[in-house]
Amino acid sequence: MAEFFIGGGGATCRGLLCWGALAGAVPLAVAQEPFRDVARPLIEAHCFGCHGETAKVGHARLDGAAIGREARRDGRLWQRAIAKVEAGAMPPRSRPPLTDAARAALAEALRATLAAREPDELLDPGVVTLRRLGRFEYDGSVRALFGGAWESGDLFPADPIAHGIDDLGDVMALPPMLFEKYDEASRAIVAERFANAAWRAALLAPALARGGVLDAAAARAIVAPWMERAFRRPVPADELERRVDLFRAQLAAGAPAVEALATTLRSLLVSPDFLFRPESGDPAREEAGVRPLTDFELATRLAYFIWSEPPDAELFEWARAGALREPAALVVQARRLLADPRARTLSDHFAAQWLGFGGIRDVTVDIRRYGRFFGLGLREAYYEQAARFFATIVAEDRSVLDLLDSDWTIADARLADFMGITRPAGSNLEKVALTDRRRGGVLGLGAILTVTSFPLRTSPVLRGKWILEVLLDQAPSPPPANVPALPKDDRQADALTQRQRLELHRADPGCAGCHATMDPLGFALENFDGIGAWRERHEPPAEGTPPAELPPIDACSPLPDGTSIDGPLGLRDWLRAHDVDFLRAFARRLFTFAVGRPVELLDDPEIDAIVAAARTDEARFSRFVEGIVTSRPFRYVRAPR
């Protein structure tokens, strides 16, 4: 299993890397020497024993780069190496140690290498593959166009997820079967709306103004604004006329005028211009193979980022006036969209995927072990608690560090009693002040604690992996093949605790590296059982075991660098000490969601600048959004080739 570790807090944006983000990147030719003269000799002396030609199975190879340019081809590997070096976890104690000066020199030389840029990278906004509307965006788009409460439900297959997000063009293909589903959906949507007399009367107003005659002229007046809204851009006259020709063809075939109009509107829902979000940029302003997005493309990116639906009338008019080209205008509109109740979709679409609490709706829980999960109706309550927690951060423009540690949470009387906190004043889910930090932040939410458990037991491994992967963007490598899994139930005849079983599991050298980091983070949450209830002792190994004989929970564990984490409060303190790592992880995932592609090495200076700016204002949510929408990758695209 490849080794990795978390970087030191506050060390992410510094030296040449931070300088590159704020003042222009170092030319790559200049960065060859630090890697060749400083980094490579230290790596050879201290790292090749485990990560060289004779690397043990699963260990990352570090011997493939002789110069900086070669190292940057596998930049993420070297970023993990930097983090491990700075944390004091590499080289291991079995290898010759690095002096503090050598450790700092190695990390700085690697940072200089990764911060450097080839000349053509300085203005490169990256490549965003043509994006199809996912289920969430499709539903939002239909509701914005037709009104009503359309939900596709299980009509469409689940969208593929990459990098924790379901709207990346790289994986959003349109197979024939899915197109058939879109056709089926279009028929249902239009039929339902045309069956609504009031809605139909409003739609036909242009015909009524012409004496009640629904002819080609009236159809043109009706369809024109619909096409603009559906395609999210102005529609040329010849393109509009082709839709009117479809209306005429339906009439000629004997269809009633209203049915012909319904067919014409239905055709919009199966058009590639509706199902996809094309972004070719403005060719008139192309420079060095890079184009700024058009105002309408910017409006569409912004609206789908914050609302997961098309631009509203005001955003569309700003685009029509050419008013979105300046970063300041994007900030104004982003703030308006964030203040709108529709920004709740950031919880249901972005946060539910990133944090994983959307999985609570499908998670399996053993009813015999955790009957209260069903008796109290915790499945939906947990989802809504987590969604409103994130939505509160957005609506109140709070610090995103509240996700790590907060003196408030969301609860109703039922959840408050279950969680052991003060009841809210009202009867509904609402913001509640906490006197006990154990329940603060997302690590105190029942949805997170449940989806990172197994049906019959907790899992320090799953919880530790979740912390690394989600909160710190340090995904561990997959486990080696043929490693036996731990029992699915912690009630076993051997009466071993989770800690004792994992200690035996870590005896396998292929498992020890990752588990040494994951397990202490997960064990810090062991006082929370498989559905998030607080406990002081382990589950009984068998029915009828007296509580006094159950072993107490031991939530304290050391990390490889010697730091000890004790319980949920110690974990929160440790995470706050690594707040820059978390803020970068958050910025990277939000950037991926907004731009539609994973963060690349060339984006790192941009990400660091966004984080640095947000930290000057308490890391408020809006500052991350503003930093992203004014960034070059959000506003520009590579010219089509």
For 74-175, where are the alpha helices, taking DSSP H only?
75-86, 100-115, 135-146
For the ranges 199-213, 228-242, 591-605, the maximum mean pLDDT occurs at: 228-242
Mean pLDDT value across the chain = 86
Of the segments 73-87, 161-175, 409-423, which one has the largest average pLDDT value? Answer: 409-423
Per-residue model confidence (pLDDT) at position 42: 84
The pLDDT assigned to 503 comes to 66
Per residue in 207-218, pLDDT tens? 878 778 899 999
- Phi and psi at residue 189, in whole multiples of 5°? -65, -50
User: Hey, which residues does 558 pair with through a beta bridge?
Assistant: 564
**How many Å apart are CA 231 and CA 243, to the nearest integer?**
13
Mean pLDDT computed over 53-80: 70
Q: Could you give the CA distance from residue 3 to residue 180 in angstroms, rounded to a whole number?
A: 46
pLDDT at residue 407 in the model: 96
Q: Which has the minimum average pLDDT: 77-81, 253-257, 377-381? A: 77-81
Q: Give the span between the Cα atoms of 533 and 357, in whole angstroms.
A: 17
61 pLDDT band (50/70/90 cuts)?
Answer: confident
| Predicted confidence (pLDDT) at residue 78 exceeds the cutoff of 80 | no
User: How would residue 9 be classed by pLDDT, with cut points 50, 70 and 90?
Assistant: very low
Q: Which of helix, strand or coil describes residue 133?
A: coil
Is 70 exceeded by the pLDDT of residue 466? yes
Categorize the per-residue pLDDT at 510 as very low, low, confident or very high, splitting at 50, 70 and 90.
Answer: low
The three-class DSSP label of residue 504 is helix
Determine which of 143-157, 404-418, 447-461, 537-551 has the lowest per-residue pLDDT on average.
537-551
> What pTM does this model have?
0.86
Half-sphere exposure of residue 55: CA atoms within 13 angstroms, side-chain side: 18
Q: Give the pLDDT score at 302.
A: 98
User: Which is nearest to 86 in space by CA: 560, 608, 606?
Assistant: 560
Residues 6+ apart with CB under 8 A from 499: 460, 523, 554
Q: What is the pLDDT of residue 19?
A: 28
Does residue 57 surpass a pLDDT of 70?
no
Q: Quick check: 430 and 458 in contact, CB under 8 A?
A: no
pLDDT above 60 (res 101): yes
Provide the percentage of residues in the chain whose pLDDT is more than 70: 85
Confidence of residue 60 (pLDDT cuts 50, 70, 90): confident
Percentage of the chain lying above the pLDDT 90 cut: 58
pLDDT tens figures, 309-340: 999 999 999 999 999 999 999 999 999 999 99
Would you state the pLDDT for residue 480?
A: 62
- How distant is the alpha carbon of residue 91 from its chain centre? 32
**Greater model confidence, 593 or 540:** 593
The confidence band for 507, taking pLDDT boundaries of 50, 70 and 90, is: low
Which has the higher per-residue pLDDT, 338 or 557? 338
* pLDDT value of residue 161: 82
